[in-house]
Amino acid sequence: MLLTVEPDGDDPIYQQLRDQIVVAVADGTLKPGDALPTTRQLAADLGINMHTVNKAYDRLRSEGLVRLGRRTGAVVARGPADEPAGADELADWERRARTLLAEAFAKGMAPPEVLERCRALLAEFTSR
Amino acid sequence: MLLTVEPDGDDPIYQQLRDQIVVAVADGTLKPGDALPTTRQLAADLGINMHTVNKAYDRLRSEGLVRLGRRTGAVVARGPADEPAGADELADWERRARTLLAEAFAKGMAPPEVLERCRALLAEFTSR
Amino acid sequence: MLLTVEPDGDDPIYQQLRDQIVVAVADGTLKPGDALPTTRQLAADLGINMHTVNKAYDRLRSEGLVRLGRRTGAVVARGPADEPAGADELADWERRARTLLAEAFAKGMAPPEVLERCRALLAEFTSR
Amino acid sequence: MLLTVEPDGDDPIYQQLRDQIVVAVADGTLKPGDALPTTRQLAADLGINMHTVNKAYDRLRSEGLVRLGRRTGAVVARGPADEPAGADELADWERRARTLLAEAFAKGMAPPEVLERCRALLAEFTSR
DNA sequence: GTGGTCTAGACCACA
DNA sequence: GTGGTCTAGACCACG
């Protein structure tokens, strides 16, 4: 479980953290019940502000992926196949997926090729 | 070709426009050579500022999807399968796709189901 | 001597014409004394405005590459090795060359490679 | 690192800034990691608008030469030989170089002389 | 009449 | 305090 950040990247730092943790949950590096580093611990390790880590954790909480306890810290709350996604979650995801796939298609990637890439990326998660 | 914006949405207005136009190009609503509304016209229709539309068009130009004409206004420059995507473009796309697919998987969607949704979304584009 | 224009290209049409004529003079397609098409002839051929052709010719005149006669039309006035460039002309050219070469270097092209490309491009002119 | 602008020059202000920064990166005045002035600061120093500086920086970012940081301001991202140029970048550069070299040749500069000037300009970059 | 550029001033997200 | 976004209004280059 190695987290890194690019302070001057295109995405805000808190989202970089959120994304990496989502991927870690997907590929099994993090399992339901696993504890995440404390905010101040992670902030110190990465040389960033504690509030930034906090914001990342809060986003994950509002997505239902982690639970934030006063004493337990941040704990992974949901893993693959743990609980089916809600309708709102699903509609929002589909909207983003449509945009992403449209971009690929509009920019010249052939649909079978796009689908194959999606399959390969998903395989990264299931195989581990 | 109906464009709408949510001024208070999560994404900036110019990106909402960019996204909708990308989808329109992908699904065939807009074909290479088709003219987009003029910046002033679209701005007036949507009740937003000219510069905001301008920024959306400028981004699309830098992505190679539209050409900004001197007299004609904005014109769709690239359609599906018009030209293969560059390596950088592709790597960036794959990074975003990984995050999006990881999110789906981590939130409980089964890989076959995810893949099926991707296939269905792509079919929206190829069928029209 | 085939001239073409992209109405929606990055460069203004009059400059596209100017550039192509400059290259034609350099590579020998056009020689000193050769007549260029009349403004209305060229405008009709390319489907553009007469004033646009006029502007291109005027720029070339101010650069000393063509003479504009009331009765003779536009005539190539100067060719390779015809007359050494003036100091102002030269300083301005060098400024633009510095920017172009800096861009190549800053973007990762090795100086020997850049120089070789320049040599090859110049050879296109001398060989014909 | 001294930047100047000519408000009434032929090139737009933002491009004058862009060009000067490209040259500065090429000749080593600016090295990867170096910070550029903040948009507001530079705008105030030059007596121009913040948005104009912003546009210059944004172009440089889209060219991959700088990263725009959240806290640090603009930072030089790519230096000479840091990363090879892409194919599109290269083709576009060659087109512009052809025009520039043709102009020199057509205006009476001998090819060896032109090449020597290019070599000298490149030497300005490598020597520092 | 089109997009391109510049100015001016405001509010927000991020850290 | 930084860049990012949006608004408003003006002038210019191009065709």
Q: Which pLDDT score is estimated for A31?
A: 92
Q: Residue D79: its pLDDT value, please?
A: 66
Which tens digit of pLDDT belongs to each residue from B25-76? 999 999 998 999 999 999 999 999 999 999 999 999 999 899 998 888 899 9
For chain D residues 59-78, those near strand E by a CB cutoff of 7 A are 70-71
Which residue type, as a one-letter code, is found at position B5? Answer: V
Identify all chain A residues contacting D75, using CB atoms and an 8 Å cutoff. 8
Residues B57, B103: one domain? Answer: no
Q: Any residues with CB less than 8 A from the CB of A79 and at least 6 apart, and which?
A: A25, A30, A31, A32, B106
Task: Tell me: do A110 and A66 sit in the same domain.
Answer: no
Q: Which residues of D touch A (CB under 8 A)?
A: 67-72, 75
User: Is the pLDDT score of C123 beyond 90?
Assistant: yes
Q: How much is the average pLDDT of A105-116?
A: 93
Query: Distances in Å between the alpha carbon of B21 and those of B17, B61, B69, B84, C19?
Result: 6, 12, 17, 19, 34
Residue B106 maps to a domain:
yes
Range of the structural domain that residue D114 is part of: 87-126
Nearest residue to B30 (alpha-carbon basis) of B70, B58, B57, B62: B57
Least Cα distance to A28 among B113, B112, B102 occurs for B102
Q: Which two tokens stand for residue C116?
A: 């070789």
CATH number at residue A42: 1.10.10.10
Those residues whose C-beta lies under 8 Å from the C-beta of residue A121, and which sit 6 or more positions away, are B94, B97, B98, B101
CB A36 within 8 A of CB A73: yes
The answer as to whether B101 is a domain residue is yes
Residues C72 and C19 in one domain: yes
Q: Best of D19, D76, D121 to disrupt the C interface by mutation (most C CBs within 10 Å)?
A: D121
Distance B29 CA to E10 C1' (A): 37
B57 lies in the same domain as B100: no
Residues C18, C70, single domain; the answer is yes
- Note whether D105 and D61 are same-domain residues: no
Give mean pLDDT, residues A53-61: 95
C81-92: pLDDT as tens digits = 677 778 888 999
Q: What is the share, in percent, of chain A residues with pLDDT greater than 90?
A: 77
* Residue A122: predicted pLDDT: 95
**Protein C8 CA to nucleic acid E3 C1', in Å?**
11
Q: Are residues B58 and B112 in the same domain?
A: no
Return the number of other C-beta atoms located less than 10 Å from residue D3's C-beta. 16
Same domain, residue pair B19 and B57 = yes
Domain-embedded: residue C104:
yes
Nearest nt (C1') to D69 (CA)? F3
pLDDT band at D80 (very low <50, low <70, confident <90, very high): low
Residue B5 forms part of a structural domain: no
Structure tokens at C17: 């014409």
Contact yes or no for B108 and A78 at CB 8 A: yes
State mean pLDDT over C4-20: 94
Are both D52 and D95 inside the same structural domain?
Answer: no
| pLDDT, average across residues A10-19 | 95
Q: Give the per-residue pLDDT at B80.
A: 66
- State which residue of chain A sits closest to D77, comparing Cα positions: A8
- How confident is the model over A34-38, as a mean pLDDT? 95
Query: Considering its fold, how many domains does chain C have in total?
Result: 2
Q: For chains A and D, tell me whether 3 or more CB atom pairs sit within 8 A of each other.
A: yes
Distance, CA of A39 to CA of A50 (rounded, Å): 6
Rounded Cα distance, C58 and D37, in Å: 41
Q: Are residues B91 and B63 in the same domain?
A: no
Whether residue C81 and residue D118 make contact (CB cut-off 8 A), yes or no, is no
B68, B91: one domain = no
pLDDT at B88: 78
Q: Where does a domain end: A35, A56, A76?
A: A76
pLDDT band at C78 (very low <50, low <70, confident <90, very high): confident
Q: Establish if A1 belongs to a structural domain.
A: no
Are A106 and A60 in a shared domain?
no
Task: Estimate in Å the CA D71 to C1' F1 gap, whole number.
Answer: 8
